[in-house]
Structure 1
Amino acid sequence: MNLKEKDIFDLLNEKAELYNSPDFINDDPIQIPHRFSLKQDIEIAGFLSASIAWGNRKSIINDANKMMELMGNSPYDFVMNFIESDLDKIPQKAIHRTFNHEDFIFFLRNFRRIYSQFESLEDAFLINEDETNFYHSIERFRNQFVSEQHRGQKHVSSPYKNSASKRLIMFLRWMVRKDKKGVDFGIWENIDARFLSVPLDVHTANISRKLGILTRKQNDWKAVEELDLILRKYNSADPAIYDFALFGLGVSKEFE
């Protein structure tokens, strides 16, 4: 494809405007945390929904719903007050694909530990002065959240192992981005949107390659940083806005 760079970003800005609207919520896992108003409920519902966000979107939403129901639709209250017999009632089967009941319980225990230390998950993701993205922040969070060797830790990806950390990056977009469109929550006050990246999945990566704004073939952390360089050139304050555009181009199949 031979679009000039300015044309590419005119297109991306147009698509971002189109897809960053409340209509986006209806078919997206972000609808799950949108049911809540308490900050910690939004964080837990968002983190769990993002953690299982691979595969069919309808299935992701259904399975995220299951987790909310298992917590009595009060995630923070459940996390802080569950007793062992509550955990025994969780059916011993998969929640979503390879994310099973053991992984869910592992997450619940670690949420309690994190919320015993911090008022908000934001405190576990703070960016240091010399950092330009979430590379170190995600790893610091991971080291705090994964308290022991457990099969569930594979669901908390590590940029230090060159993972694109797509699900965590998506969760961070939900919590950090602030605008008046009503999709992202923007409830974290101490982390700036300029540090965000686009969650890199198969679709956003392929569209980025077709547009010529990503050359790296692997969908890994190095690809995230390569895409960051060009997206931040066009919107240094809010680079993750282009997630809506790349998603929208994928859905509309304009470049297939």
Structure 2
Amino acid sequence: MHPSDQQLSDVAIHHLRGCPVTKHSIRVASDVFGPNLGSLKGKTVHRPSSHVQPHTDPVPPEILARHRDVILATDIMFVNKIPFLITVSRNIRFVTITDVPNRQLPTIEKELLKIVHLYQLRGFRIASMLCDPEFEELRPTFPFLNPCSADEHVPEVERMVRTIKDRVRSVYVTLPFRHIPRLMVKRLVANAVLWWNALPAPDSVSDVHSPRYLLVGNELTYDKHVRLEFGSYVSGDMSVGIDIIFLLAFSFT
């Protein structure tokens, strides 16, 4: 009936004649196999999570003064036939990724407006948006649109698509699953982008600050973001009241 380790030790030692299990064996089993799964699922109560303390640092003024005008490259990429809208800014090297339900222009326009607004909130201006010809009809909304010719592609975003897919495949082959649902694929792609933005890029405007810091205003923290690997199977409350989940990733914001 899933007693505690202390109760189990008392039963084995004092109340169950002929039991070969010792108190030491129980401690070793707890270390090797972890806490009792039945007790975790049946006895764990919800704990209120700590309040999020919003803290956003401003963009360093020297970077904002020299790189206020941003050239943004955008495209549509596919992972397992799931479309994603991807953007990458030249020099800043900040990447956004959004899974879109379709490739219709109203959908793309809505998501691009969110991204442009994100840059504006941090004091940047989109001077030019490099894209494929399929985005041409969005010029009334984005006058700075700069489509390439029919037989060309935008090199910055094409290279970033390859980088993200390489990282996604590298994680996917290490997962202990033969198949994963669409939601997990989406979060896996988002996780790849999250960690790209978390570290200073070799060709970025700063060797100290990450692209995430410049566009979001904060860095990742060890306690919150490096607790478990992507795809880890979790039981218990993990101090935030969860039961059994797949550890997913955060979005780019």
Scaled by the length of structure 2, the TM-score of the pair is 0.25
Higher helix share: 1
Scaled by the length of structure 1, the TM-score of the pair is 0.24
Higher gyration radius (CA):
2
